[in-house]
């Protein structure tokens, strides 16, 4: 395929990506603003100590959810795109039934763990019986709302507009609940109820929309599940590696919050969560773009369009470097203003943590297209190895530095793990076979 053809086809890819990006940025833009607003409302209403308690319970539930939730949307796209391209609707139906089964199994197992593990962490986090009860019921509610198959279904049929709408349900419920809690002067319980209700409402809305609008068939039953396993070569390996990689990536923030809370106290944990959420908000537009890039790379991989894939990758990488630099400038120069705008001057102590985390976020963003490219080429195991080694480095540095640096230790550990992952992932992309054989 000629370079000219690749550039021409690349234009079509970017137009499709641009359309999807507008939809997701609209929805995620609302979510980002809403999330900062309701987090700020909680921080101001509860105060540093109460917000720290809230943050620890939230981190506990989210940590277990990150472990239990399979990244099934990636499996739906990876194998579903092949079935769509080949017109194999029955194979696609069996695939969707298989991932749905695993979603529900993961939710049930995670809910049981959330309930039973509370006494094991209560001593470290200094939870009294009331706080243990809150953590238990909140964890169960949160775990029952996990499952990514419906999101994968909507992405598979290119309905990012519908994803925008359904993903606004959770933030809307959470924002309304937070404002009610603030107006009534409620405590931690009210905010936890708002968070749990929002998660359950969004999960129901996503499934309802996927079933009604994607028009994709789903086949259930033991025979269908056995067939799905045989028809999708390497599906277990792919699901395990992508889930583990995603889990490790998402788990670090929750682990950092819990570690800071146990070692330094709830107030420090609340400050760390404020800093981490602001840093994550700075990265949100690029993370959205990564979710759009993955289906496009999977589509190009399925059609063996090497020239277009290389063209798209080069262009996206240039954008990523510029945006990463912007994140550092905003996080470092505007950090104090952002913290005071969100949570008030009572959380000024979190600025150093935010400045360091902004650097870590920028490092991740500079290579945000590398992971989708490796996954599209079937290198999920490589990503898992990178994430596991990065998580090990993060954990060692976190607990080694906590006694000396308090919450700042978690931020430094995050930066070092991000730097290791960025270098390793870049080298892995450079090592991909050149030419058509790499497909």
Domain tally, the chain: 1
pTM attached to this predicted model: 0.79
Model pLDDT, residue 8: 43
Model pLDDT, residue 413: 95
Q: Which residues of the chain have pLDDT under 50?
A: 1-8, 435-439
Model pLDDT, residue 85: 75
Model pLDDT, residue 6: 45
Report the C-alpha gap between 331 and 334 in whole angstroms: 6
Instruction: Go through 243-267 and write b for each residue having 16 or more CB atoms within 10 A of its CB, e for each that does not.
Output: bbbbbbbbbbbbbbbbbbbbbbbbb
Model pLDDT, residue 12: 58
Q: Is the dihedral of CA 405, 407, 410, 411 positive or negative?
A: negative
Model pLDDT, residue 71: 77
Domain residue limits at 414? 3-438
Report the C-alpha gap between 314 and 6 in whole angstroms: 12
Map the chain to HEC letters: CCHHHHHHHHHHHHHHHHHHHHHHHHHHHHHHHHHHHHHHHHHHHHHHHHHHHHHHHHHHHHHHHHHHCCCHHHHHHHHHHHHHHCCCHHHHHHHHHHHHHHHHHHHHHHHHHHHHCHHHHHHHHCCCHHHHHHHHHHHHHHHCCCCCHHHHHHHHCCCHHHHHHHCCHHHHHHHHHHHHHHHHCCCHHHHHHHHHHHHHHHHHHHHHHHHHHCCCCCCCCHHHHHHHHHHCCCHHHHHHHHHHHHHHHHHHHHHHHHHHHHHCCHHHHHHHHHHHHHHHHHHHHHHHHHHHHHHHHHHHHHCCCHHHHHHHHHHHHHHHHHHHHHHHHHHHHCHHHHHHHHCCHHHHHHHHHHHHHHHHHHHHHHCCCHHHHHHHCCCHHHHHHHHHHHHHHHHHHHHHHHHHHCHHHHHHHHHHHHHHHHHHHHHHHHCCCCCHHHC
Question: Token digits for 12?
Answer: 């079509």
Diameter over CA atoms, the chain: 68
Chain segment 138-172, per-residue pLDDT in tens:
999 999 888 889 988 998 887 877 888 888 899 99
């Amino acid at each position: 395929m000629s370079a000219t053809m690749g550039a021409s086809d690349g234009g079509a890819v970017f137009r499709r990506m641009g359309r999807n990006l507008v939809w997701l940025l609209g929805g995620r833009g609302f979510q980002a603003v809403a999330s900062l607003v309701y987090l700020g409302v909680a921080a101001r209403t509860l105060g540093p100590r109460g917000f720290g308690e809230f943050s620890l319970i939230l981190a506990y539930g989210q940590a277990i959810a990150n472990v239990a939730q399979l990244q099934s949307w990636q499996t739906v796209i990876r194998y579903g795109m092949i079935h769509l391209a080949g017109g194999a609707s029955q194979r696609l139906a069996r695939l969707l039934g298989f991932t749905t089964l695993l979603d529900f199994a993961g939710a049930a197992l995670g809910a049981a763990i959330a309930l039973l593990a509370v006494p094991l962490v209560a001593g470290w986090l200094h939870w009294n019986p009331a706080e243990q009860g809150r953590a238990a019921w909140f964890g169960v509610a949160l775990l029952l709302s996990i499952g990514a198959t419906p999101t994968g279904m909507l992405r598979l049929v290119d309905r990012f507009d519908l994803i925008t709408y359904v993903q606004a349900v959770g933030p809307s419920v959470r924002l309304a609940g937070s404002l009610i809690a603030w107006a009534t002067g409620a405590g931690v319980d009210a905010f936890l109820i708002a968070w749990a209700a929002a998660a359950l409402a969004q999960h129901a809305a996503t499934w309802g929309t996927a079933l009604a609008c994607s028009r994709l068939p789903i086949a259930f039953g033991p025979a269908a599940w056995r067939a799905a396993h045989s028809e999708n070569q390497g599906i277990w390996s792919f699901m395990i590696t992508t889930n583990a990689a995603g889990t490790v990536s998402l788990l670090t923030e929750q682990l950092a919050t819990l570690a800071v809370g146990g070692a330094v106290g709830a107030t420090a944990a609340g400050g760390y969560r404020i800093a981490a959420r602001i840093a994550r908000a700075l990265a949100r537009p690029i993370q959205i773009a990564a979710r759009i890039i993955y289906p496009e790379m999977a589509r190009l991989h399925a059609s063996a369009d090497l020239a277009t894939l290389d063209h798209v990758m080069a262009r996206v990488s240039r954008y990523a470097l510029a945006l990463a630099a912007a994140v550092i400038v905003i996080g470092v120069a505007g950090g104090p203003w952002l913290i005071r705008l969100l949570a008030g001057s009572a959380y000024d102590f979190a600025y150093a943590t935010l400045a360091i985390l902004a650097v870590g976020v920028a490092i991740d963003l500079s290579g945000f297209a590398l992971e989708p490219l490796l996954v599209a080429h079937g290198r999920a195991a490589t990503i898992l190895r990178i994430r596991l080694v990065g998580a090990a480095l993060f954990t060692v540095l976190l607990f080694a530095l906590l006694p000396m640096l308090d919450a700042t230790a978690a931020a430094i550990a995050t930066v070092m793990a991000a730097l290791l992952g960025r270098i390793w992932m870049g080298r892995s992309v450079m090592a991909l076979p050149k030419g058509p054989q790499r497909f």
